[in-house]
Amino acid sequence: MSSDTAQNSSEKILAAATRIAQAHGYGGLNLRALAEQVGIKAASLYHHFPSKAALAAAVARRYAEESVMTLEAILKESEGAEECLLRYPQTFRRSLENENRICLCSFMTAEYDDLPAEVQKQVQAFADVNVDWLSKVLQMAGVKRKQAEQRARGIFAAVSGAQLMARGRADIKLFDSIMKGYRDAGLFSAHKTD
């Protein structure tokens, strides 16, 4: 198998595994079903990923890397911290728009105790990526570092929690309504609170 073909197959596997994990979590990541969806034999998966844990860690790592790119694009395209904060919830809304899925790492966090250590590490990395970015944005607006980190954790928890509620009701309008309530309450304000 050429390296291009192997890379292409790995990408297909990662994309399909991401969709499955966003809908069913780590526990629902069935390798036979995944192989069938990708159009390969189950044994062929092990040519790309030596175990389910290795596959899930690769999926979570890629998910975090894509999140970094998305968040950096928001930072680059926005007119300031306030706009960045207002655009942030859209990164979670996109999963709901995609067949009522949720953030892959939110799903895996709910299964945290049952995850292999290498997957736990990647799930934590995703949360860190989001909290670090939010903290950076808040500090750009003049919020002191300690308060920025605290508020960043609160924003991350609030948005991911709202996504869970909306998914549980299969109602993206609920997510939008919760985000409006958060905006009205000043959660996404870049103004200093200290």
pLDDT of residue 194: 45
Q: Do residues 54 and 118 touch, judged by C-beta distance below 8 A?
A: yes
Q: Shortest CA distance to 90 belongs to which of 1, 10, 188, 186?
A: 188
Residue 62 located in a structural domain: yes
Q: Do residues 165 and 179 touch, judged by C-beta distance below 8 A?
A: no
Q: Which domain holds residue 81?
A: 57-185
pTM: 0.86
Residue 52 located in a structural domain: no
Residues contacting residue 33 through CB under 8 Å, at least 6 positions apart: 20
Residues of the chain with pLDDT under 70: 1-7, 192-194
Q: Shortest CA distance to 175 belongs to which of 79, 106, 78?
A: 106
pLDDT of residue 6: 53
Q: Shortest CA distance to 6 belongs to which of 60, 56, 59, 47?
A: 47
pLDDT of residue 68: 94
Residue 163 located in a structural domain: yes
Residue 114 located in a structural domain: yes
pLDDT of residue 87: 96
Q: Which residue in this structure is represented by tokens 């175990």? A: 51
* CATH classification of the domain holding 120: 1.10.357.10
Q: Hey, is 57 helix, strand or coil?
A: helix
When divided into structural domains, the chain yields a total of 1
Residue 33 located in a structural domain: no
pLDDT of residue 149: 96
Tens-digit pLDDT profile for residues 43-83: 888 889 999 999 999 998 988 899 999 999 999 999 999 99
Q: Which residue in this structure is represented by tokens 């750009």? A: 140
Residue 94 located in a structural domain: yes
Spatial separation of the C-alpha atoms in residues 127 and 64, rounded to whole Å: 8
Phi-psi region of 186 (alpha: psi -120 to 50; beta: other; left: phi over 0): left
Give the number of other CB atoms < 10 A from CB of residue 164.
16
Residue 146 located in a structural domain: yes
Residue 75 located in a structural domain: yes
Spatial separation of the C-alpha atoms in residues 175 and 92, rounded to whole Å: 9
pLDDT of residue 189: 86
Q: Running DSSP on this structure, what letter comes out for residue 114?
A: G
